[in-house]
Amino acid sequence: MTDGPLLQLRDLHVVYRSRAGDVSVIPELSLSLQAGEALGLVGESGCGKSTVALSIVRYLGRAGRIAGGQIVFEGRDLTTLDLAALRAIRGRRIAMVYQDPMASLNPVMTVGRQLMEVPMIHEGVSARVARERAIAMLGEVKLADPAAVMDRYPHQLSGGQQQRIVIAMALIAGPALLIMDEPTTGLDVTVEAAVLDLVRELRRRHRSAILFISHNLGSVARVCDRVAVMYRGGIVEEGPVRQIFANPRHPYTRGLLDCLPTLGRDKRQAPLVPIPGQVESATARGAGCGFARRCAHVEAGRCTSGPIPSLVVEGEPQHRVACVRAGELPLWRRRTSPAVADDHGADGEPIITVHHLTKVYEPQRRRRFGAARPIRALADVNLAAARRQTLAIVGESGCGKSTLAKVLSGIEIATTGGVTLDGSEVGRLGVDARSASLRRKLQMVFQNPDSTLNPSHTVGYAIGRALRRLRDGAPADVGAGVARLLEVVKLTPAMASRKPHHLSGGEKQRVAIARALAGDPDVIVADEPVSALDVSVQAAVINLLNEIQAAHGATLVFISHDLGVVRYLADHVAVMYLGTVAEVGRVERVFAPPYHPYTEALLSAVPVPDPDAAVARILLEGPVPRADEIPRGCPFATRCPRRIGAICDDTPPPVQQLAADHRIACHIPGAELQRLQTPLVGSAAAGR
Amino acid sequence: MSTPVAADVLSASPPATARLRPVARWRRRLEAFGASRPAAVGLAIVLVWIVLAVLAPAIAPYAPNASDLTALAHPTPSRAHWLGTDHLGRDLLSRILWGARPVLVIAPLAVLGAAALGSLLGLTAGYYGRWIGAVITRACDIVLSFPVIILYMIILAHFGSSAWNIIGVLTLTKAPIIARIVRGMTLDLREREYVAAAKMRGESALYIMLVEILPNARGPLIVDMCLRTGYNVIIIGVLGFLGIGLPPPDPDWGGMVKDTYGMMMVWPHMALFPCAAISSLVVGFNLLAVGLRELGLRD
């Protein structure tokens, strides 16, 4: 092999056909990747990251076309290869891992068969050799009992296991380049941490180069050597991971870092700074810097005329940035909260209280063989949210946090126990049974921006209808009310005539917030309201929720799997596991020792956007027990790294009141936990 | 494999239609038809038939039931009778033009009736589920499992054949198919978050079904209605052929074929021209349906 880079993109130009003619999605992009190197490609959605990956293997589909430039891989230009030669490279020399593992696996074949196919097709080895290699590979991706896994079908495996299989399939041919497109985006944080660690370890062993595409700066920091930041189809900044994170030069890179909620940020001390506007369409490309219209440092003339060259940063020869003002901007500083301060004052009286709440789903149909077991989604949950405060509920998927939201909002009703809303018992009242005034007191913001608004209705109708239904009497002027609400969520009143498919994800979520605000609710339940949004948009929506809460004095029940967001926004946090509350308390107490062992594992799994962050890693072993097979004792006992013995398996843990506003459910005494644990957030955040 | 970035780029383009006035919006929609060849051809065929039917009293060269006894000796197409005459000397062109009128009223009305009834049944079955859904679904299956021609014969023979009775029969037999489609979509749509949001502001079930769910089922529904209109044209022809269609002597395409197919060997044009009329209209509706599906009927 030659000494040159493994992969080199030279002036790559990609266009997509659309009704309005060809659109240059990637106008001109150059990039190189050395053998064995891991390069992270980051940027908001719509900036062309996936297009780059797809054009490397020429998988652009019918609408896309490489209009110019070269893709040189191992000395050959992939843009000119015929399909047969390309097939020999795909899968064998270049392998891809996509976001959704289920879409990459064939549901009617055992995973073993699918793994064996790769060497059998590409290297023509016998089935027996292929089987041995497949089993060895499954061992390498840390799947327990590889021989048994070989005979499973994809649907019999969890999401994390499926992604491991896909990674095994990608690596089994020993590719020189592994392209990973958002490989951990759909996974829970503890699973994500394990997969990222696996990628790091396998990389060292297999010496494959990795092109790692992600919108998550934290996971990029954990895996990559070098980072390239993309914006509107071009690379705006590129360099070694340490230099990019310590000394970001491009305003866009800084924007991405500033809008990222991390474990060290708190809404009182280090506010998030969203990047204004949104990624502009590729059709309207003016002269000069593509980021100019969203940039706070833009200078008319210099930034907006002529192409922006990519220049080497002074003193950092491998660090390049495409910004004419890069040298003039002040140095960037990581925004972190100073020492944790307890300055919240006393809590108000609770407006919503959950007491001994249990929700059991009865199986719909009796199974023919063996009785179907009821599924216990919530078990004896006790929580309270004070007026004007934010209660965050955090946990992995399947922990019951969404079920709790549904019971609070009346979409589901409690099996036993109850919910008190401003003095009225509503746990057994479905939405239909609640009075108009109760409905007005509690409204909800949903997770999915694409399904939260009715695509057939205009924004004005959606908000106006909520105003009419939830306000007392008929408001004199619904139009004016809609305009006022749109202004509250920082949208223009002209939006009222739009339909949802003309809105971006962030705009839809704002409209949904305006709709929830129509009745001036006392409690807003937000179920993962920002998890489907880009970081930059997410920051703006989080700030909006925060402002609205301060202005309207509403209580926010905020459900999230993102600990960074929770740390930033919450006053109180409840950590849930398998339908029970493992730990609950003031946010700075939950995020500091003594932790519940589960909280500790969650916190240590969060990818921190700082390559130097030395975090004591706790990896959880084994799968989450199924909801119909919850352990008798502590629900976390099967995976707990601090399990102390049989008592954990047999006896439900006592709830320890560690402070006036801090409870954990664990057999280990709080003082003992305090002694065993080191602070996880401090070490990650205090650095600089 | 999809091209996610392309989708983002396209959706990020300025929302032009949002600000257009209604006239301009309709013009834009019509232009969109040009983007799909089947849609354009289908729309053209159907529009031509509608115009011909509307203008039939003005453009038909003869009265539909007037016999030209001089043409009886030579009923084949001639300068006086462009499509020839039938065995009673009636001008075929005039009869076909007049015959388009009842078809183009009965077929769409029957589809609208079926859509209304079927949507209500489908929404109810899908939204409530449980036993209500089961009862409606079973009832629809029973109707669908009947040999429809026999059903038509029994009902029309019993109640007499008139335009309204035909509309009624077609509505009853087509509604279950529409109900099935709407039920399927409702099962999906009722889980959307905007439906939960409507429940949370205390909307009635009827409002949720008609205002929140039905409009979002309209795409596939309109495509299917177009298809059903074509099928109804066939069925109206079949009923006419079986002699239980519109009562004579007014022209009816199916009836025209029935009266003359015995003379197929001698004078094929008498049966073939009405058949061609039926086929072209059916093809028109089918192409329109294919085209609408292609266009996805957004906005």
B22 close contact with A: CB closer than 8 A:
no
pLDDT in tens, A252-268: 998 888 888 877 777 77
Burial class (CB in 10 A: 0-12, 13-18, 19+), B251: buried
Whole-number Å distance between alpha carbons of B165 and A199? 71
If you measure CA to CA, which chain B residue comes closest to A409? B200
Distance from CA of B185 to the nearest CA of A (A): 14
pLDDT score recorded for residue A371: 58
B2 close contact with A: CB closer than 8 A:
yes
pLDDT score recorded for residue B171: 93
CB atoms < 10 A from the CB of B2, how many?
A: 11
By Cβ distance, the residue of A49, A61, A462 closest to B1 is: A61
For residue B138, give the DSSP letter: H
pLDDT score recorded for residue A473: 61
A420 strand-pairing partners: A353, A425
Distance from CA of A197 to the nearest CA of B (A): 28
Q: How many CB pairs under 8 A join A and B?
A: 118
Distance from CA of B9 to the nearest CA of A (A): 5
Q: Are strands A94-97 and A38-42 parallel, antiparallel or unpaired?
A: unpaired
Q: Half-sphere exposure of residue B210, counting CA atoms within 13 Å on the CB side?
A: 8
Structure tokens at A298: 């833009």
CA A49 to chain centroid, in Å, comes to: 17
CB atoms < 10 A from the CB of A576, how many?
A: 26
pLDDT in tens, B37-65: 888 899 999 999 999 999 988 988 888 88
Whole-number Å distance between alpha carbons of A350 and A420? 9
> Exposed e or buried b for every residue in A422-453, given b needs 16+ CB within 10 A?
beeebbebebeebeeebbbbbbbbbbbbebbb
Task: Give the CA distances from residue A455 to residues A101, A419, A447, A467, B5, in Å, rounded to whole numbers and listed in that order.
Answer: 29, 33, 16, 19, 22
Q: What is the value of ipTM here, to two decimals?
A: 0.80
Reported as type and span, the H/E element at residue A360 is strand A350-361
Whole-number Å distance between alpha carbons of A96 and A119? 16
Distance from CA of A453 to the nearest CA of B (A): 5
Structure tokens at A375: 């599924």
For residue B13, name the pLDDT band (cuts at 50, 70, 90).
very low
For residue B167, name the pLDDT band (cuts at 50, 70, 90).
very high
Mean pLDDT (chain B, rounded):
85
Burial class (CB in 10 A: 0-12, 13-18, 19+), B69: exposed
**Do the Cβ atoms of A501 and B299 come within 8 Å?**
yes
Task: Give the CA distances from residue A229 to residues A216, A237, A244, A319, in Å, rounded to whole numbers and listed in that order.
Answer: 12, 5, 9, 12
Angle at A181 between CA A179 and CA A185, to 5 degrees: 140
pLDDT score recorded for residue A229: 92
Reported as type and span, the H/E element at residue B266 is none
By Cβ distance, the residue of A54, A60, A452 closest to B194 is: A452
By Cβ distance, the residue of A20, A283, A454 closest to B194 is: A454
Whole-number Å distance between alpha carbons of A218 and B148? 64
pTM of the model: 0.82
Is A395 in contact with A329 (CB distance < 8 Å)?
A: no
Interface probe with A: pick from B1, B11, B28, B201, most Cβ of A within 10 Å: B201
Nearest to A486, CA basis, from A521, A458, A454 = A458
pLDDT score recorded for residue A347: 62
For residue B68, name the pLDDT band (cuts at 50, 70, 90).
confident
Q: Are strands A655-659 and A177-181 parallel, antiparallel or unpaired?
A: unpaired
Low-confidence residues in chain A, pLDDT < 70: 1-3, 281-284, 335-347, 364-372, 472-475, 613-616, 622-623, 627, 681-688
Structure tokens at A171: 């690596």
For residue A426, give the DSSP letter: -
Is A105 in contact with A111 (CB distance < 8 Å)?
A: yes
Is B6 in contact with A281 (CB distance < 8 Å)?
A: no
A372: Cβ contacts below 8 Å, ≥ 6 apart: A363, A365, A366
CB atoms < 10 A from the CB of A198, how many?
A: 18
pLDDT in tens, B275-299: 999 999 999 999 999 888 877 654 4
pLDDT score recorded for residue B298: 47
**Do the Cβ atoms of A16 and B193 come within 8 Å?**
no
If you measure CA to CA, which chain A residue comes closest to B215? A456
Whole-number Å distance between alpha carbons of A657 and A665? 9
Reported as type and span, the H/E element at residue A652 is none
Distance from CA of B33 to the nearest CA of A (A): 13
Q: Are strands A350-361 and A375-386 parallel, antiparallel or unpaired?
A: antiparallel
CA A665 to chain centroid, in Å, comes to: 27
Reported as type and span, the H/E element at residue B44 is helix B37-59
pLDDT score recorded for residue B139: 93
